[in-house]
Structure 1
C-alpha cells in the first residue's frame, strides 16, 4: 500500500489512524540516579505498563481506529541498507559520543541486529558492557541514553492539516526522538510518495513540542508558548502553514506559566466536543493570547495581543458558547491530585467521546454528567510518566467534522 496522507483538521473528528509506541526496555533502564536526566519522576513496572498500553490500543481498535506503532514504522523505513546507515550515523552522532572507537563499537553492535531489534535497542539505550567495555559501578553505564519518554508519541512530531511539524525538542534527552519521525515521513514506503509538508523541521534552533499544538478547527490552531515551546518556533510554523494555503487562518499563541505543572498546553486544556473542553483550574484567570493571522498581499504575519479568560477567547474564535469542565470539579485537593495524573489530558476519538485514565474518577463522573462518553483505562504504571491519553497518541487521520 502506498500514499498514506496526513489529515487532521480538528481535535475531535472521528479518529481513524493513530501512532502509538508500546513501552519497551527503555522503561527498564530507568534508575533513581538518572530519573531527572531522563525526565521521569518514577519507574513504571514494564510488564503492567505494557498491559495497560495494550488495553489502550484495544480501546482504540474497538472504536474503529487503526493503530500503527512507531517502532514498527521506523523499522520498515530503514530496511534499505543505505538508509539504515544514514539512520545509524544520525542517531549515534546525536548521542554526543566523543571517542571514535566507541562510535564504531556501537555501530558494529547495532548493525549486527535484525532491523526491528536494532530500532528497539536504539530506543532502549546501549550500555557500555553490551559493546565490550567494563562498567564502573559509580559511572554512568550508558553510551546511548534510553528514551523512556517515547511512549508519549504526541511530542516529537505533530499532525496539522495535511502536514506535520517535525519538532525541535527542548531537552537533550528528547531531541533524538524526532529522528524516528524524520525517517518515517521521508523513507517509509507508505509515506515517501505522499510528500508530507513539513511545517517545522527538527534542525531549527527554536523549540516546539507536540503537546503544545492543538487543532481547534479547520481554521483555528492553538499553540502553547510554554516551558517547552518558543514563540519564534510558533511564528515560523504559522508562516509555513499560511503560505502553503491551508484552511487555517488564525494561530492563537497561549502564554502559559513556564513550569512543570503546565508543561504543555494539552496538560492545561483539551477539546472534547464541539463546544466542550476539559481544563486545569489553574489556567482560569486572565490569559495573554497573541492571535496570529496572515497578510496575503505582503506575505507578512499580523499579530494582535489580547487578554481574557480562556472561555472568552475560545468562544470568540470558535464563534460559539464554550463550556469548560474543570478537572476534579475545581476542588483544590481533587483537581491537584487528578491533574498530577493528567485529568485534563483527554483524547477525543469522536465528538463527545473520550479516552481517559480511570484513576481520575471524579473528573470522569463530571464528564459523564455533561453527556460525554468516557472510555476509561487503567493507568497505575503509565501515569508515572506524567502524561495522559492525548500525550500517548499521535493522530495521522481524523474525519472532517
Structure 2
C-alpha cells in the first residue's frame, strides 16, 4: 500500500485526506449572483475558517495526514513551464470575453512569483476594480461593464469531494455539472500530472474532465474492493456511469460491479452522498424520502467487454446484503421516522457523514435527531460545528477527499 492513492472502501481507517480551507472566494459571493455560483446564502468567511480548522484538527488528532488542495496545486506548478501552461489553460476556461482584458490578467498572473499566492488568486476570482483601467475597450467589455468580476470566484472549492474521486489506485477526474465549477478540476489535472507526490505513480484516470457528460464525486461511493455505488442525480448523467464502469473494468482496477442509484434530479438530493453514506460494515445513513421511488441498476462486465446492465427488483437492504456478502444491513434514517425532521436535517447534511474508521464518523453537531439515531446504532460520533460551512449545502464527506485508507 505504498501508492499515493489507495481507496478500496468508504470505511477503512482513513490515513490521508485532501481538504481546501475556505478562502477569499467566499468573500466574492454576491446576493445577485448566488444561483449561478450554486449557493443559497453567503457564509461568514472568518467563522467558516474557524469551523473548517476544527474539522482539520479533529482529523489530525486521529493521526490522519491532512493535505490542502491549494498547497498541492502551488507545488505542482513550481516549474516555470508548468506555471505558464496552467495560466494559459486557466484563462482559456475563465470565460473572459474581452481580448485586452484577458491579456491584462495574463500579465498580472504571470508576474506573480509566489505560487501559493497565484493559486489563491485563481481560486478567489478577480474583481474588475483590482485591474488597471482598460485603454481600448472592446464591445464585450463595454456591454459587460456593470458585471463586477473579470473572472468568477470558485466558492464551492471547499467541497473537495466533487471535482475528482479516488477509487482503487485511480482517479475519476470529473466533468462538473455547472460551468461555474468546471475550472475546479483543473487543479486536480495539474496535481496528478505534475506534483512530486503523484507524477511518478502513473495514476490511472477512469474518467476525464474533457468528457461530454457530467459526473461529480459526491455521487461516487466505494462500498468495497469489489463494489462501487454511483448516483444518477442532478449532477451525474446515466451515460457517465456507463463510461466510468467501462473504464474501471478495462483498466482492471479490481472492482467487479457498479450499482447505479437513480435518486432523481432535485437540488435537495444533489448527490448520492447527501442522502446515503456508509458508516460501518453493515450500516448506512439514508434519507427516507428517497427510499420509496429508488431504482437501482447493477452494472458488470459481460462478454466481449460489453456492459451487462440489469435493474434490481429487491429492497435496498437485500441488494446491499447480496453484493456486500452480508446478512443484516441496517439503514439509519436521517431524522428518524419524522418526515419534518428528516427534511430539515437532510438539508443540513445529516446524512453526509465522513467515516474515518469502521463505525466511527465525523458529523455536524446541528442534526441532533439523526446523530442520536447513529449513536443508538452503535456508531461513534465526532462532532464539528457547521453553522457557516453548511450554507454551501455540504457536510463532512463533501468537504473531504480521501487519498489513502487502510484495507478492510
TM-score range, shorter chain: over 0.9
Contact 2:16 2:64 (C-alpha < 8 Å) held by counterparts:
yes
Q: Distance in 2 between matches of 1:64 and 1:396?
A: 14
Matches within 5 A, 1:95-110: 95-110=94-109
Q: Does 1:125 align with 2:125?
A: yes
Partner residue of 1:250 out of 248, 257, 262: 257
**What is the match of residue 138 of structure 2?**
none
> Which ranges in structure 1 are unaligned for 5 or more consecutive residues?
none
For residues 238-297 of structure 1, the C-alpha deviation after alignment (integer angstroms, 9 at most, x for no partner) is 1111112222100011111111011000001000000000111111114211111002x5
Q: Secondary structure at the match of 1:202?
A: coil
Q: Which of residues 149, 162, 165 is equivalent to 2:156?
A: 149
Number of equivalenced pairs: 398
What SS does the corresponding residue of 1:48 show, helix, strand or coil? helix
Residues in 2 aligned to 1:354 and 1:165: alpha-carbon distance in whole angstroms: 24
The Cα shift of 1:308 comes to 3.6
**Unpaired segments of 5 or more residues in structure 2?**
135-140
Q: Counterparts of 1:331-370 in structure 2 under 5 Å?
A: 331-370=338-377
SS of structure 1 residue aligned to 2:188: helix
1:239 is the counterpart of 2:246: yes
Q: Is the 8 A contact 2:3 2:169 kept in 1?
A: no
Query: Does the CA-based 8 Å contact 1:286-1:309 persist in structure 2?
Result: no
* In structure 1, C-alpha distance between the alignment counterparts of 2:150 and 2:67, rounded to whole Å: 29
User: How far off its partner does 1:101 sit?
Assistant: 1.0
Q: Does 1:15 find its partner at 2:14?
A: yes
SS at match of 1:195: coil
Equivalent of 1:200 in 189, 198, 207: 207
1:387 is matched with which residue: 377, 381, 394? Answer: 394
Q: Shift of residue 4 of structure 1?
A: 4.8
The residue number in structure 2 matching 1:314 is: 320
Matches of 1:129 and 1:4, distance apart in 2: 45
State the distance in 1 between where 2:329 and 2:383 align: 24
**Contact kept in structure 2, 1:280 and 1:339, CA below 8 Å:** yes
1:303 equivalent in structure 2: 309
Post-superposition Cα deviations, 1:138-163, rounded to whole Å, max 9, x if no partner, equal 82111111000000000000001110
**SS across alignment from 1:292:** strand
Q: CA RMSD in A?
A: 1.5
Q: Alpha-carbon deviation of 1:97?
A: 1.4
The 1-side partners of 2:340 and 2:310 are apart by 37
In the alignment, structure 1 residue 47 sits paired with structure 2 residue 53:
no
* CA contact 1:170–1:228 (8 Å) conserved in 2: yes
Provide runs of 4+ in structure 1 moved above 6 Å. 134-138
Q: In the alignment, is residue 178 of structure 1 matched against residue 177 of structure 2? A: no
